[in-house]
């Protein structure tokens, strides 16, 4: 039993030693603390014990110190000259001296040795988790590449090189993505938190703006070198993204550098994002000019920024430009608003006399019959008159304005009745 128990403990030492992320001083301190804890449990106190750890060999030496007295009151801390002579044959000690005796691991008993092993393994796990937490906390916002270990309906589990688990929740996946075990995957490290104060929960993201920014940094050397800066990124994951860039060198075309010859640089990013459309535009602090660039190729007739930053921005376009400016499902205009930091409404630019000639009616005239929030939704997709709404099918209006079919049907009924009368 003795050899087996000692071998069990030595194995625990080796396990501890092989933990590469644990530095030597911490290792020594934890080992010593584990032994002193067991000593206190076995002998009632560890005050008169010395523990010397030999990490390289995977063992330790334990010494118990006794005060030499004439009469023993506490056998764990005191000893007589006669006892020393019987145990060692040495009679060179005197009353008042300290006698030190080396203890074998066998003195703890099998249960004690197993307790030491279990406590040691528990401490190893705690330190390892703390190290993983610190390591990934320092990497939040960085690009990560790993291998998919498991796929679930609500998340994907990814392993790093040291077999630590990272989580890619469904909400952080690009819509329509499909993964299988063994696939390599790239994502941004979004957050790290301790679950139940013991387990690091590392969250990855492929939908964040920072992920797209890091991809540009990786694919475009001028961004990595600091010659071009990504000023702002806005995305509707899986649909479209807009990236505003600025060059610090007049000789460098920031847009051309990001796209590459024949799209060689941006094509890899587009594929990584499952064919998400990416518009690269030159940054400017001029809000009107930024909006014009963001809505390109649609041509803007004029822009009304309003009286304060809380006002919606009104963008006026010719009727044949509205559809291009708004984009599929309102995607383009939403991103332009996100880039400008304010909500944008698209207005069809029709001369007053043309409206009267067509006997059209502004939507605001129907605010007694149609809720104002519904009218605002219709304006946001470029429909500011009754006929501009009726020019579309109810299904198209419902999709683009994000309205319920029943609501759109009622709107069409009200507007159609105006012209029937």
Average pLDDT of span 218-245:
94
- Per CATH, 148-204 and 208-283 having the same topology is answered no
The pLDDT of residue 185: 94
User: Residue 310: is its pLDDT beyond 60?
Assistant: yes
Task: Give the integer Cα–Cα distance in Å for 142 and 84.
Answer: 64
Task: Give the integer Cα–Cα distance in Å for 165 and 150.
Answer: 10
Half-sphere exposure for 31 (CA within 13 Å, toward CB): 27
User: Residue 179: is its pLDDT beyond 70?
Assistant: yes
The pLDDT of residue 44: 85
Question: Looking at the domain 2-131, which fold is it?
Answer: N Utilization Substance Protein A; Chain:P; domain 4 (3.30.1480)
End-to-end CA distance of the chain: 102
Q: How confident is the model at residue 34 (pLDDT cuts 50, 70, 90)?
A: confident
Phi, psi of 41 (to 5 degrees): -70, -35
Please give the distance of CA 13 from its chain centroid, rounded to a whole number. 35
CB of 270 closer than 8 Å to CB of 322: no
3-state helix, strand, coil in the chain (%, to 5): 45, 25, 30
Of the candidates 355, 279, 357, 259, which has an alpha carbon nearest to the alpha carbon of residue 324? 279
The pLDDT of residue 389: 87
Long-range Cβ pairs for the range 301-310 (8 Å, 24+): 301/349, 302/349, 309/342
User: Residue 202: is its pLDDT beyond 80?
Assistant: yes
Average pLDDT of span 172-195:
93
User: Residue 414: is its pLDDT beyond 70?
Assistant: yes
Peptide bond into 307 cis (omega under 30): no
User: Is 365 or 245 the better-scoring residue by pLDDT?
Assistant: 245
Of the candidates 219, 236, 33, which has an alpha carbon nearest to the alpha carbon of residue 116? 33
What share of the chain has pLDDT > 90, as a percent? 42
User: Is 388 or 198 the better-scoring residue by pLDDT?
Assistant: 388
The pLDDT of residue 144: 95
Residue 18 tokens, joined: 């092989």
**Extents of the domains making up the chain:** 2-131, 148-204, 208-283, 284-349, 353-421
For residue 124, what are the contacts with CB-CB under 8 A and spacing of at least 6? 15, 16, 19, 22, 30
The pLDDT of residue 115: 84
The predicted-structure confidence for 222-231, as pLDDT tens digits, reads as follows 999 999 999 9
The predicted-structure confidence for 55-64, as pLDDT tens digits, reads as follows 666 567 889 8
* Highest mean pLDDT pick, 30-34, 278-282, 315-319: 278-282
- Average per-residue pLDDT in the chain? 86
User: Residue 161: is its pLDDT beyond 70?
Assistant: yes
CATH code: domain 208-283 is 3.30.300.20
Average pLDDT of span 353-366:
68
User: Residue 421: is its pLDDT beyond 60?
Assistant: no
Q: What is the largest CA-CA distance in the chain?
A: 125
Q: Across 90-175, where does the E strand assignment appear?
A: 98-103, 143-151, 155-159, 165-169
Secondary structure of residue 350 in the 3-state scheme: coil
Residue for token digits 């270990």?
149
pTM, full prediction: 0.68
Average pLDDT of span 298-306:
88
Domain 284-349, CATH among 3.30.300.20, 3.40.950.10, 1.20.1740.10, 3.30.9.10? 3.30.300.20
CATH code: domain 148-204 is 2.40.50.140
User: Residue 127: is its pLDDT beyond 90?
Assistant: no
User: Residue 11: is its pLDDT beyond 70?
Assistant: no
Question: For residue 64, is it left (φ>0), alpha (ψ between -120 and 50) or beta?
Answer: beta
The pLDDT of residue 224: 92
The pLDDT of residue 282: 95
Of the candidates 200, 20, 13, 21, which has an alpha carbon nearest to the alpha carbon of residue 119? 13
User: Residue 276: is its pLDDT beyond 90?
Assistant: yes
User: Residue 158: is its pLDDT beyond 90?
Assistant: yes
CB of 342 closer than 8 Å to CB of 313: yes
The pLDDT of residue 196: 73
The pLDDT of residue 91: 81
The predicted-structure confidence for 316-346, as pLDDT tens digits, reads as follows 888 888 888 888 888 999 999 999 999 888 8
Task: Give the integer Cα–Cα distance in Å for 145 and 233.
Answer: 21
Burial 26-51 (b: 16+ CB within 10 A, else e): ebeebbeebbbebbeebbeebebbeb
What one-character-per-residue DSSP string does 233-294 give? EEEETTTEEEEEEEESSTTS-HHHHHH-GGGTTHHHHHHHTTS-EEEEEE--S-HHHHHHHH
Among 22-26, 387-391, 404-408, which is the least confidently predicted range? 22-26
The pLDDT of residue 355: 46
Among 151-155, 268-272, 337-341, 393-397, which is the least confidently predicted range? 393-397
What one-character-per-residue DSSP string does 160-223 give? -TT--EEEEEGGGSPTT----TT-EEEEEEEEEEEETTTEEEEEEESSSHHHHHHHHHHH-HHH
Among 149-163, 164-178, 388-402, which is the least confidently predicted range? 388-402
Of the candidates 281, 257, 390, 398, which has an alpha carbon nearest to the alpha carbon of residue 329? 398
The pLDDT of residue 2: 47
DSSP 105: G
The pLDDT of residue 1: 39
């Amino acid at each position: 039993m003795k050899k087996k128990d000692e071998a069990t403990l030595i194995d625990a030492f080796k396990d501890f030693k092989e933990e590469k992320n644990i530095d030597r001083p911490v290792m020594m301190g934890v080992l010593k603390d584990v032994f002193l804890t067991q000593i206190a449990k076995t002998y009632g106190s560890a005050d008169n014990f010395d523990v010397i750890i030999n990490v390289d060999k995977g063992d330790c030496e334990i010494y118990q110190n006794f005060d030499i007295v004439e009469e023993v009151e506490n056998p764990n801390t005191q000893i007589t000259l006669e006892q020393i002579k019987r145990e060692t044959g040495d009679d060179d000690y005197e009353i008042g001296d300290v006698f030190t005796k080396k203890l074998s691991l066998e003195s703890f008993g099998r249960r004690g040795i197993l307790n030491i092993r279990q406590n040691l393994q528990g401490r190893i796990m705690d330190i390892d988790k703390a190290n993983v937490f610190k390591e990934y906390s320092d990497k939040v916002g960085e690009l990560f590449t790993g291998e998919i270990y498991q796929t679930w309906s609500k998340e994907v589990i990814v392993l790093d090189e040291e077999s630590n688990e990272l989580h890619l929740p469904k909400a952080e996946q690009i819509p329509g993505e499909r993964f299988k075990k063994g696939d390599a995957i790239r994502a941004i490290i979004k957050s790290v938190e301790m679950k139940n104060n013991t387990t690091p929960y590392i969250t990855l993201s492929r939908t964040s703006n920072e992920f797209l920014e890091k991809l540009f940094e990786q694919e475009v050397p001028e961004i990595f070198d600091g010659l071009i800066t990504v000023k702002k990124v806005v995305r509707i994951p899986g649909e479209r993204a807009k990236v505003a860039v600025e060059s610090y060198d007049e000789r460098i075309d920031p847009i051309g550098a990001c796209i590459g010859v024949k799209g060689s640089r941006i094509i890899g990013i587009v594929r990584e994002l499952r064919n998400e459309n990416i518009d690269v535009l030159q940054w400017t602090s001029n809000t009107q000019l930024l909006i014009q660039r963001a809505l390109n190729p649609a041509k803007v007739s004029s822009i009304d920024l309003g009286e304060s930053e809380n006002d919606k921005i009104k963008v006026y376009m010719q009727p044949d430009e509205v559809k291009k400016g708004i984009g599929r499902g309102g995607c383009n205009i939403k991103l332009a608003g996100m880039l400008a930091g304010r909500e944008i409404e698209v207005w069809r630019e029709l001369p007053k006399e043309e409206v009267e000639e067509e006997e059209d009616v502004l939507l605001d005239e129907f605010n007694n019959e149609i809720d104002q929030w519904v009218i605002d939704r219709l304006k946001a997709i470029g429909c500011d008159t009754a006929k501009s709404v009726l020019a579309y099918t109810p299904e198209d209006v419902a999709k683009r304005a994000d309205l319920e079919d029943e609501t759109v049907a009622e709107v069409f009924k009200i507007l159609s009745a105006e012209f029937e009368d």
